[in-house]
Amino acid sequence: MSWEQLEFETDNIHNLHYGLIHKGLPTQIELGKCTLPNIKDEFIPNKYTICKEGDIAFADASEDTNDVAKVVEFLNCNNKSIVCGLHTIHGRDKKHLTIKGFKGYAFSSIPFRNQVRRLAQGTKIYSINSKNFDELYIGIPSKEEQAKIAHLLILLDERIATQNKIIEKLESLIKGLYSATKRDHWRMQYLRDILEQRKEFNTQNYFVFSVAVKEGLINQIEHMGRSFAAKDTRHYNVVKYGDIVYTKSPTGNFPYGIVKQSFTNIPVAVSPLYGVYKSKNLHLSNILHHYFLSPIKANNYLHSLIQKGAKNTINITSQHFLEKAILLPVDKSEIQTISLLLTTINKKIGFEKEVLKKMQIQKVFLLQQMFI
């Protein structure tokens, strides 16, 4: 079923769309905890197989060999009717060799994933079919051992889900802080009164950085495996700690470019297409950085300043970027308090992300070591 043939929150049969296997669903599906779309009346098929608890479903294709035959298991169908959609392979243990909750992890294990990668076919899109499963195998321990494995990994998945929610709540706190703060004594301030262009070229051959939506300023070689810079980067712009960088290039939810503050302790170089601005007040620049994290606020500020050229290029000078005003605090004590609060929350987010990363590493280790 395509998304046009599906809807939500009706009593019709649920459809497991293959896209949700790739992104959106946990390994173990509990219908009370996650949402599946319903098939519209006019598209309900004449013949179909209802999924049972303990059944599994594989996505049969992906652009990445790591995600070919990515699997989910129906742990709890919540007494609802569910069918597998297009580009899925529906599996059932007819010999009753396994317990509910084990198969999803067994087919997510590293040894099984390695087998799938060897069989996946294609160039841009990699796929596998049901006949390929004749060449695949998994080790099946006793049901008592299966129960221990499934219980451990389900608990770990639940903890990972909780950790993701903690991070999401902290990130939403940052996004909502600007709107929730009392702004009785704030005033509209032009960015030209807060920032000025840093007209400094890369004569010292600093490391070349790019700007990412989530990570901010990143080292090209460390994050992308290689440098995309020109051979001679002496005409690149220098960025120093606390500077504001405007990319001037459309990215995802930011069609007019992204704005980030540099938290890198050393001077770095960025593309000459980027606007770089040194700050007259680092705390106020920190508030600006968080203001522009919102796609709505960023787009509202930028859209009237910009004219789009051929091939969706953005036409704006680095100086023109500063020619609008934003509602900002004026009192120095309030500016510092808000900035330090934002910094503290960001440090907390960084810590929680490290905890999440360790849990994910632990899960990968278990999926590698607990299955043969």
Q: What is the mean pLDDT of the chain?
A: 92
321, 191 contact by CB (below 8 A): yes
Per-residue pLDDT, averaged over 226-250, amounts to 89
109, 77 contact by CB (below 8 A): no
In this prediction, residue 71 carries a pLDDT of 96
Residue 180 has pLDDT above 70, yes or no: yes
In this prediction, residue 139 carries a pLDDT of 92
In this prediction, residue 267 carries a pLDDT of 96
345, 289 contact by CB (below 8 A): no
Domains of the chain: 3-139 (3.90.220.20), 141-185+331-371 (1.10.287.1120), 188-328 (3.90.220)
211, 247 contact by CB (below 8 A): yes
Residue 370 has pLDDT above 90, yes or no: no
Rg (CA), the chain: 26
70, 59 contact by CB (below 8 A): yes
Among the listed residues 14, 41, 309, 294, the one whose alpha carbon sits nearest the alpha carbon of residue 175: 294
The confidence band for 310, taking pLDDT boundaries of 50, 70 and 90, is low
For the segment 10-45, what is each residue's pLDDT rounded down to a tens digit? 999 999 999 999 998 999 999 989 999 999 999 999
Per-residue pLDDT, averaged over 125-146, amounts to 93
Among the listed residues 14, 58, 67, the one whose alpha carbon sits nearest the alpha carbon of residue 38: 14
Per-residue pLDDT, averaged over 210-220, amounts to 89
Per-residue pLDDT, averaged over 299-324, amounts to 83
Helix ranges restricted to H, the chain? 18-22, 103-106, 110-119, 143-180, 220-224, 282-291, 295-302, 332-369
In this prediction, residue 309 carries a pLDDT of 64
The confidence band for 220, taking pLDDT boundaries of 50, 70 and 90, is confident
Q: What is the pTM of this model?
A: 0.81
- For residues 126 and 140, give the distance between their C-alpha atoms in angstroms, rounded to a whole number: 28
Per-residue pLDDT, averaged over 84-102, amounts to 95
CA distances from 352 to 24, 345, 364 (A): 21, 10, 19
In this prediction, residue 183 carries a pLDDT of 81
Residue 228 has pLDDT above 90, yes or no: no
132 three-state secondary structure = helix
Among the listed residues 56, 108, 64, the one whose alpha carbon sits nearest the alpha carbon of residue 82: 56
Dmax over Cα atoms in the chain, in whole Å? 74
CA distances from 156 to 163, 306, 319, 367 (A): 10, 48, 51, 12
In this prediction, residue 231 carries a pLDDT of 85
